[in-house]
Chain A
């Protein structure tokens, strides 16, 4: 899948959970959403992107959610 599509989708998810005041909780929620609704291939692709491109274009919160809690 095009990485841009995944970035856009991940950022939209990030936008929603940005309203969560507790940052740790927000990280958990974002990763949880990805774990529950994205296929493992999609998750792997975004995780690789975060490592290889240091998550350029992704919201900071999303990057930290992916780095800390994503199941790949």
Chain B
């Protein structure tokens, strides 16, 4: 393996070295152009700007309005150059290179012009550099120095903008127009990088100024992505943390701990304090962009609610007792041993989370399999993307998305099914919107009008297939029917790449008249003609790429739909190259990784079944323990058995099943029935309220490890400060293992990855050292693909030939009737993340402080419900009360809500229905009735009393030093 062995004491995270700002974006061209800049010959791709070429040859041309993340605009006139034989002084940012030209960037004349330009800027700029938050980090200041500005002749008495009022409404950044030089970098960042178009330059000439649609930033269209703040060369747009703490002094590259985009960030530090998270320009998933969560919402790591001392208690009706780590670990171990002796191994298990690093997931499943001696280990992907793992493995042979995010830039037709990228995967959505503005076509299949349908500037869906929730499989059959019966199958591809028999069976099945759009029109609620046109567009419009989310998986036929999507992609030849593919958008940061790491009860790392003797022998040899060949319990199985008193001990790391899993009352009943619930988390989450042992966890800023994003990209998470709780999470698991008599001796998370690599073919060549070198790696990474695999299934599918599956539509048993006449479906919003444990403890609550229910005005009127009314939502599982908002985004008969706040109780209503293959809950379809009410539901009242008592137990915890 690798020559360097990292340990906690010798591991030094590679220092972030900022790459130069080339001023204008990189251009790609086969054709090279040769020119001379300040006497140096250089050849660059055609289309490159002179400014970019100059920087490549090591010459920095002064600039203000240009930066390499944006197309040049040519307004500041600071970057002028002379070209021999040409008249005037062209702007180097907007002038492309030409063969043989001789450019001079520094002449007396240029110096004079530049000084003049700077003088004008400075004459309308406050001279408070020494006390300015951007001091030392201001391009205006740098340029004043670079052009040698020594005096300003105009005086400050004339008309100026120095008194312009600050806008401090955004919780994370300020806008101080007195410092604005109207370079429009912010406006362009909002358009080009983010795609929101919230900013404009109002007025002309001297009177021109930046405006967020003539509103405060908070009331504007702004989604607080921070791209404008990053692009601003002055202190006009500035992070409040930098204003408070001053400029950072060092910076370490790490990975966002929120969504499955997996953005790379520079954690900009002052000692052990984070001052700013700035997206990493070299980040493979995000290329320097981010959203409000990753860039700004990290304050939870130091929130006062965070628990940093271990706690134990006998009963959940007892107050917590604060104890030392040794005591907590030993108590947990003794309880596990007691329960094993009394009820047997199979009454115990573990749950990991997609919020854990790969290394943490790996050691947790190792603990359960090797030490608990059972395969009862599962992960929260059970309730989100387990059908993806199953469906893609069956059809294509690998449980993962097929592309990189960048692949979308080569797509001609984008089909989004059951996903809402602008809210759920914002940075990828920005990239997708860029491609759509370039002209790619868009098909959206979603019961609700997500923003991309027609609520995003300069983007709209060509077809919105607003199907009824629960009818996905009928839709995919109807689309396939059109492809097959209208002769749009890519026969060559299918012949060469797929199993013939399976194709024929599938073709004959979808071709049946009952699968035609006309036959299914009524069931789906979508016009047959629209489906026909959408299918034709997808099959014939060039590179077709499918992106899907939980609107596909969280159904009773989730796995069937995933296979249906793979079928369609194979039949239309849309796999195995850039621009196409089947792309599951993963909710949380490490959904892909946690599945890869063997956290499902039936498989080891790399998706190898526990009954496979060779694989099991490999693990038995490495771990030195006998392992079971039988699949273990899935989360819903564990909960069912717990409720019956047959499952007694649970080690739950980073997951909050009491909030995120369906049918809350069923879950809490199960938790109450267990004898030892061990929760490892940052906060006293909903599950912890039912726990007997609480191990305080470390935040992503306090530990080392890796996350794997939706494009299989393994990215490093680096410890930038010491864990406030004392240990990295994998260390806690290792300690528990030790106390149970099995030593897990690792000096550093990198050694866990070395073990994973040694035992997992698709990770064979992955190591921390390599990640330090490459930045990130997309698995499979082995001898054949030492630098990873951006696009999968290129020459053949991982399973050899692609396999088609017949996907018979089976309507869900969750049916509407007169008692429950509406369908409730759920989703997410941009500013909050999953159960909200982190984002609710940041200023992101200013955007979303409660979950509301969207209801169609027609349904509202029938029930006498008005905007803002409390409505009671009743399902077969339970009842909750939320505030209503009336909107035509939802169709009549369908209501919609989010579940970021526990007191909303959205999952009190969701039922036990689940996917046939994986038991992934059917979160997206619940039959409900809605009525106007005036008070909270019984569950909510009970919840309030219960959670207040539990929080009091944690606040008034007893300490071993001072027994009460």
Contact = CB atoms under 8 A, between A and B. Distances in A.
Interface of A: 1-2, 5, 8-9, 12-13, 15-16, 18-21, 33, 35-42
A38 B637 CA distance: 9
A1 B556 contact: no
Contact of B632 (A18, A21, A39): A39
A36 B602 contact: yes
Nearest to A35: B611
Given A13-B916, A36-B602, A39-B630, 14 more contacts: A15-B810, A16-B559, A16-B917, A20-B806, A21-B505, A36-B611, A36-B631, A37-B631, A37-B917, A37-B918, A39-B346, A39-B601, A39-B632, A40-B630
B916 A16 contact: yes
Contacts of B914: 9
User: Could you say which of A5, A8, A19, A21 has the most chain B C-beta atoms within 10 Å of its C-beta?
Assistant: A19
B631 A41 contact: no
Contacts of B644: 1-2
- Interface core residue of B346, B557, B559, B917 (most chain A CB under 10 Å): B917
Give the one of A37, A38, A41, A42 with max B CB within 10 A.
A37
Contact of B631 (A1, A13, A16, A38): A38
B807 interface: yes
Given A1-B640, A39-B631, A19 B346 contact: no
Given A1-B640, A36-B609, A13 B806 contact: no
Interface string B900-917: 000000000000101011
B807 A19 contact: yes
A39 B378 CA distance: 13
Interface in B912-950: 912, 914, 916-919
Interface in B121-161: none
24 contacts: A1-B640, A1-B644, A2-B644, A8-B813, A9-B916, A12-B556, A12-B810, A13-B917, A16-B557, A16-B808, A16-B916, A16-B917, A18-B808, A19-B509, A19-B806, A21-B505, A35-B611, A36-B602, A36-B609, A36-B631, A37-B918, A39-B601, A39-B633, A39-B637
Which of B559, B806, B912 has the most chain A CB atoms closer than 10 A to its own CB? B806
A8 B559 CA distance: 16
A33 B918 CA distance: 10
A15 B632 contact: no
Contacts of B602: 36-37
A28 B79 CA distance: 72
A2 B813 CA distance: 18
B633 to A, nearest CB: 6
Q: Which residue, B611, B810, B813, has most C-beta atoms of chain A within 10 A?
A: B810
B916 A15 contact: yes
Contacts of A20: 806
B203 to A, nearest CB: 63
Interface string B627-662: 000111110010011001000000000000000000
Interface residues of B, number: 31
A37 B632 CA distance: 8
Contact of B346 (A5, A9, A35, A41): A41
Interface in B500-543: 505, 509
Contacts of B505: 21
Nearest to A8: B813
A19 B505 CA distance: 10
Contacts of B810: 12, 15-16
Nearest to B506: A19
A31 B705 CA distance: 39
A41 B916 CA distance: 19
A69 B609 CA distance: 19
B608 to A, nearest CB: 12
Contacts of B634: 37
B560 interface: yes
A36 B390 CA distance: 12
The 3 A-B residue pairs with the shortest CB-CB distance in the complex, in nearest-first order: A12-B916, A19-B806, A19-B808
A61 B837 CA distance: 45
B509 A2 contact: no
A4 B810 CA distance: 19
B637 A42 contact: yes
Contact of B640 (A2, A16, A21): A2
A5 B640 CA distance: 9
B630 A15 contact: no
Contacts of A41: 346
Contacts of B813: 8
Contacts of B559: 16
A15 B637 contact: no
Given A1-B641, A39-B632, A16 B609 contact: no
Contacts of A15: 808, 810, 916
B562 to A, nearest CB: 12
A33 B914 CA distance: 16
Contacts of B631: 36-39
A5 B732 CA distance: 36
B313 to A, nearest CB: 29
Nearest to A2: B640
Nearest to A34: B631
Contacts of A40: 630
B632 to A, nearest CB: 6
B369 to A, nearest CB: 14
B604 to A, nearest CB: 13
Nearest to B919: A9
Contacts of A35: 611
Nearest to A21: B505
- Max chain A CB contacts within 10 Å: which of B346, B631, B634, B810? B631
A19 B641 CA distance: 32
A19 B808 CA distance: 6
Contacts of A33: 917
Contacts of A8: 813
B614 to A, nearest CB: 16
Contacts of A39: 346, 601, 630-633, 637
B36 to A, nearest CB: 67
Given A15-B810, A21-B505, A39-B630, A1 B637 contact: yes
Nearest to B633: A39
Contacts of B806: 19-20
A59 to B, nearest CB: 12
A19 B509 CA distance: 9
Contacts of B633: 39
B449 to A, nearest CB: 31
Contacts of B917: 13, 16, 33, 37
A37 B636 CA distance: 13
A1 B644 CA distance: 7
B601 to A, nearest CB: 8
Nearest to A22: B505
B483 to A, nearest CB: 18
Nearest to A13: B916
Nearest to A10: B916
A13 B917 CA distance: 7
A36 B612 CA distance: 11
A40 to B, nearest CB: 5
A61 to B, nearest CB: 13
Nearest to A38: B631
A34 B611 CA distance: 13
A23 B530 CA distance: 37
Nearest to B646: A1
Contacts of B641: 1
Interface in B569-625: 601-602, 609, 611
A16 B394 CA distance: 13
B539 to A, nearest CB: 23
Nearest to A42: B637
Contacts of A5: 640, 912
A8 B915 CA distance: 11
